[in-house]
């Protein structure tokens, strides 16, 4: 009996050993399949929507630099008036000392503008004139509503002391819808828009115009 029992015990151990080995082999095969699947997944290319998402995020991280197109400055256009280094030319002024720069005996005041461009300027205001009677110090200021037309811009003289991009309208017309000035050489010499007018020019040889000096900023 003992011999029989020992044989049975050996057979049982052998069976158990075979079962254990089978289980170990199955587990090993399972791990290999898992590892192989993970490697295969890692080798597959990413879907296009995922790549697009990453590309969009990458672009968002790059700083964007705005480049402004080059713009050529048209320069500054001004009336042919009296200026200095403390009172430089400006576009669409509301008042200027005009013609008599030494004593300020003529002025354009309360000006407003409907057009101001490289070709011409259109506006209205008050032409104020000192009649210098009996003297310019004691004189009376005469004021005339006027329509203003300026045209034919020309560059400032090189020695004028004005900013280099300044252009002065060389023709200035003051048209009077009501009273007209007739003293101190301010006689009517033209018409503009059907109104009596005084035409001024900075050109020394201008015809039918009252010649005024070239503007300076000294």
pLDDT tens digits for 65-103?
A: 343 343 344 689 999 999 999 999 999 999 999 887 877
When comparing pLDDT for 73 and 182, which is higher? 182
Find all residues with CB under 8 Å of 135, minimum gap 6, and list them: none
Q: Give, for 145, the enclosing helix (H) or strand (E).
A: strand 141-155
Domain ranges of the chain: 2-61, 76-211
Tell me the longest C-alpha to C-alpha distance in the chain. 163
Distances (CA, A) of 208 to 19, 137, 151, 199: 127, 31, 16, 8
| Predicted pLDDT of residue 169 | 97
Which helix (H) or strand (E) covers residue 108, if one does?
strand 106-116
Burial of 2 (0-12, 13-18, 19+ CB in 10 A): exposed
pTM (two decimals): 0.65
C-alpha dihedral sign at 7, 9, 15, 21? negative
Please state the rounded mean pLDDT for residues 179-208: 88
pLDDT at 31: 56
């Amino acid at each position: 009996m003992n011999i029989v029992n020992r044989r049975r015990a050996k057979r049982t151990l052998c069976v158990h050993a075979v079962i254990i080995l089978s289980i170990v082999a199955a587990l090993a095969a399972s791990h290999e399949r898992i590892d192989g699947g993970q490697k295969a997944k890692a080798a597959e290319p990413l879907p296009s929507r995922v790549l697009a998402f990453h590309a969009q995020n990458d672009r968002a991280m790059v700083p964007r630099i705005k480049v402004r197109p080059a713009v050529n400055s048209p320069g500054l256009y001004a009336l042919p008036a009296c200026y200095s280094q403390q009172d430089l030319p400006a576009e669409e002024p509301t008042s200027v000392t005009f013609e008599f720069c030494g004593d300020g005996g003529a002025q354009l005041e309360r000006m407003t503008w409907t057009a101001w461009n490289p070709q011409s300027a259109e506006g209205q205001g008050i032409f104020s004139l000192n009649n210098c009677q009996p003297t310019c110090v004691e004189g009376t200021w005469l004021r005339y509503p006027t329509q203003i037309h300026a045209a034919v811009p020309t560059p400032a003289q090189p020695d004028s002391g004005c900013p280099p991009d300044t252009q002065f309208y060389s023709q200035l017309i003051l048209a009077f819808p009501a009273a007209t000035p007739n003293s101190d050489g301010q006689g009517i010499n033209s018409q503009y828009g059907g109104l009596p007018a005084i035409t001024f020019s900075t050109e020394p040889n201008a015809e039918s115009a009252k010649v005024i000096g070239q503007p300076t900023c000294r």
